[in-house]
Structure formats: structure tokens, C-alpha cells
């Protein structure tokens, strides 16, 4: 295994040995190609560079106590990437080809999968690009699918700690019937200004309101939002939220714990009634929220009065991580073991 200080790793880029590439030309996908260069050689008039024909995914591989490498719900990432392709008129990559690419890239970079004890993981980043020289606004004739990996450290270095988020009504991440439901780079570019304002004021993220009426909760920067009240797990439903695979998994685990899962429009004022609130996504699994500051209305919603994560967040977090690392049984077929 590589000799890195695994538990001190952040969420940055570290070079690994190989990446996988695959091209769509003349109406069909080619073979998976193994590549050791980190550089893409693409035409300056490619549509991904000008008109945002780009989508990506993010998932992780974990090394268990038994030494085996597990990838979490990659079929869901494959399906979501297809939905992103449909959303911005790119070629759809077959699910089997996506899964084969993931298995291959993890296996080839096996020495970069962090050891179990470190709490770190191998981050897997698939991306899809529109290629071909074109200046008119229309879908590209050719596409390139790339997957690379990089080891990332544990998200919570100082323990599982809640943070503060803020509401900034002046900014939207996505339009009401725009590209919010698909995982495209353009949504991220659109969120950078608000994200930087939030960070400069000491917040971990922006909690976006629905872009149409500004009445309901949407999502939290690059993560979904959920709240807990009594025996309910409550998560917003809207036309501009990216369907998080982590959220979907947590909803299942919450139901298994006997909680009622509510996926519906959540009015902003309802956060005053929440016992717990959190962001969720692949990076952190769950990042609990201690306080939500509505900066336009000068109003604060304090959720974790003692500054500690609530019991439901705590249980769900440990439960999902235990499944990912193979410490608990995989009852739903969420895990692929890389052999
Ligand atoms: C990727 C992403 C998430 C989290 O999705 P997971 O599948 O749980 O990692 C949430 N919101 C946005 C906007 C995202 O891009």
C-alpha cells in the first residue's frame, strides 16, 4: 500500500496511477481505455468548454476490516449520470459500462485505497464531456467519459461536529425548471459567489430556498438537507434539488429505525420546529447543522442548543458508515466488492 498519512488527508487531488477513458463516436461507445496521463487533449472548440456540456459524479470506495474494497451504490451513480446526459443532451453511457469502468479504476489504483483504521476513502470522480469542434449552439457530435480516483481523508477530523449555515435570498443555485435536478458543473459555477459570501461570514454552506417562491427549503450548497422532528425524517422535495444517493439511503435507514419519512415541500418557518437538521452527501455522509441564520430577515434558528449532533443524526451516520466499511450487513445490495 502507498505510504501516505491517510488520516491527515484532506479533500484535495493526489495523483494516482491510472484513469479510465471511453469515447462516444459515430453514434456508439468504444472500449474502455486505461490511461496513465492526467492530461486531456481536447479541441478548443469542444462544447464542454463553451456551452457547459459537462456532468460529473462522485462516489467512494472503502477498505473494510477484512481488507476487502467496497464501492457504495454505483448503479445509482450510473443512473444519475444517464439522467444528467438526458438533461443536457449528451450521449448516455450504458450502466454496465459505467460499472465496469468503476471496478477497473479502483482495482488498478488499489494501493491508494486507504486502510480501514484511517477512516479515509478512495474518492471516485466520473465525468462526461461534450467534444468535437463546434461554435454553433447545439449538442456535440462526440463525447468522452473519464473516471479518475484520488484518496480523501475523513471528513470530520475533529469529531462529528455541527456547523452553521445561512440563507441568502439574493442567490439561486439553479432555476425553477432548470438544471438543479442533474449533476452538472454549471450548477456549481452558479453557486460559487454565494458560497464564498457564506464562507467569508463564517458559515459552512448556503441553505438555498426554492428559486420560484423563496418559501420552501431546497438544498444546502452541494448537499441535500434533512430535518428531524420527533419521530419524523423530513427532507425537501422540489424541482431544483439534486437527488442525493446518500439522502435516499438515509431515508431507508430512517424508515428501518421506525421513523416516518416525509419527502415534501418544507416551508422555511418549519425549521423552527426541528429537533435536528443536517446536510447529507457522499463527502460527509451527514454534516449536522447547529444553527441556520436567515441573513436577509436577521433571524436565527438555533437547532443544536448544546452545539452537539442530535441522536438521530448520530445513529444514521454510524449506521451508514458501518454498511459502507462492511462492519454491518448489506441488507439492500448497496455494496459491490471489488475483486
Ligand atoms: C452530488 C450532490 C449532492 C449529494 O449527492 P450524493 O449522491 O449523496 O453524493 C447533493 N446536492 C448536489 C447539488 C450535488 O451535486
Domain boundaries, the chain: 6-152, 163-324
pLDDT value at residue 163? 94
Q: How far apart are CA 325 and CA 317, in angstroms?
A: 12
pLDDT value at residue 305? 85
Atom of ligand 1 minimally distant from the CA of 180: 13
Count CB atoms within 10 A of the CB of residue 252.
15
* 127 Cα: distance to centroid of ligand 1 (angstroms): 14
Give the E-state strand segments of 153-259 in sequence order. Answer: 163-167, 205-209, 217-220, 224-229, 232-236
Q: Ligand 1: which residues within 6 Å by Cβ?
A: 58, 183, 219, 222-224, 242, 244-247, 281-282
pLDDT value at residue 31? 98
Cell of 274: 426541528
Q: Name the residue of 242, 287, 320 to mutate for ligand 1: max ligand atoms within 8 A of Cβ.
A: 242
| 183 a catalytic residue | yes
pLDDT value at residue 155? 85
Superfamily of domain 163-324: D-amino Acid Aminotransferase, subunit A, domain 2 (3.20.10.10)
User: In this structure, which topology does domain 6-152 adopt according to CATH?
Assistant: D-amino Acid Aminotransferase; Chain A, domain 1 (3.30.470)
* 23 Cα: distance to centroid of ligand 1 (angstroms): 25
pLDDT value at residue 7? 84
List the catalytic residue out of 89, 183, 215, 248: 183
Q: Which of the residues in the chain have pLDDT under 70? A: none
| Alpha-helix residue ranges (DSSP H) falling in the chain | 47-50, 74-87, 95-108, 185-200, 245-256, 311-324
Atom of ligand 1 minimally distant from the CA of 283: 9
* 245 Cα: distance to centroid of ligand 1 (angstroms): 7
Nearest protein Cα to ligand 1, atom 5:
244
* 247 Cα: distance to centroid of ligand 1 (angstroms): 9
Cell of 57: 459524479
Query: Going by DSSP bridges, is the β-strand pair 232-236/224-229 parallel, antiparallel, or unpaired?
Result: antiparallel
Nearest protein Cα to ligand 1, atom 3:
223
Amino acid at each position: 500500500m502507498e505510504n501516505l498519512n491517510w488520516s491527515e488527508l484532506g479533500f484535495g487531488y493526489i495523483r494516482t496511477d491510472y484513469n479510465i477513458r471511453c469515447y462516444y463516436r459515430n453514434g456508439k461507445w468504444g472500449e474502455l481505455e486505461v490511461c496513465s496521463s492526467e492530461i486531456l487533449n481536447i479541441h478548443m472548440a469542444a462544447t464542454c468548454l463553451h456551452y457547459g456540456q459537462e456532468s460529473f459524479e462522485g462516489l467512494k470506495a472503502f477498505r473494510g476490516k477484512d481488507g476487502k474494497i467496497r464501492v457504495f451504490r454505483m448503479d445509482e451513480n450510473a443512473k444519475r449520470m444517464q439522467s444528467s446526459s438526458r438533461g443536457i443532451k449528451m450521449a448516455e453511457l450504458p450502466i454496465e459500462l459505467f460499472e465496469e469502468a468503476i471496478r477497473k479504476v479502483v482495482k488498478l489504483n488499489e494501493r491508494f485505497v486507504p486502510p480501514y483504521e484511517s477512516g479515509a476513502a478512495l474518492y471516485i470522480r466520473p465525468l462526461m464531456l461534450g467534444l468535437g469542434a463546434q461554435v454553433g449552439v447545439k449538442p456535440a457530435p462526440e463525447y468522452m467519459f473519464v473516471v479518475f480516483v484520488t484518496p480523501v481523508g475523513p471528513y470530520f477530523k475533529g469529531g462529528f461536529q455541527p456547523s452553521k449555515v445561512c440563507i441568502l435570498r439574493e442567490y439561486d443555485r439553479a432555476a425553477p425548471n432548470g438544471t438543479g435536478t442533474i449533476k452538472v458543473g454549471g450548477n456549481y459555477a452558479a453557486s460559487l459567489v454565494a458560497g464564498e459570501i457564506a464562507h467569508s461570514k463564517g458559515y459552512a454552506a448556503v441553505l438555498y430556498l426554492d428559486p420560484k417562491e423563496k418559501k420552501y427549503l431546497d438544498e444546502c450548497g452541494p448537499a441535500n438537507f434533512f430535518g428531524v422532528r420527533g419521530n419524523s425524517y423530513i427532507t425537501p422535495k422540489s424541482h431544483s434539488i439534486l437527488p442525493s444517493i446518500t439522502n435516499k439511503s438515509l431515508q431507508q435507514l430512517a424508515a428501518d429505525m421506525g421513523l416516518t419519512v416525509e419527502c415534501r415541500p418544507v416551508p422555511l418557518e418549519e425549521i423552527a420546529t426541528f429537533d435536528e437538521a443536517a446536510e447529507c452527501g457522499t463527502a460527509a455522509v451527514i454534516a449536522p447543522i447547529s444553527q441556520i441564520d436567515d441573513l436577509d430577515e436577521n433571524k436565527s434558528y438555533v437547532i443544536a442548543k448544546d452545539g452537539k449532533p442530535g441522536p438521530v443524526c448520530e445513529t444514521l451516520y454510524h449506521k451508514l458508515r458501518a454498511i459502507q466499511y462492511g462492519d454491518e450487513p448489506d441488507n439492500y445490495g448497496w455494496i459491490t466488492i471489488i475483486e
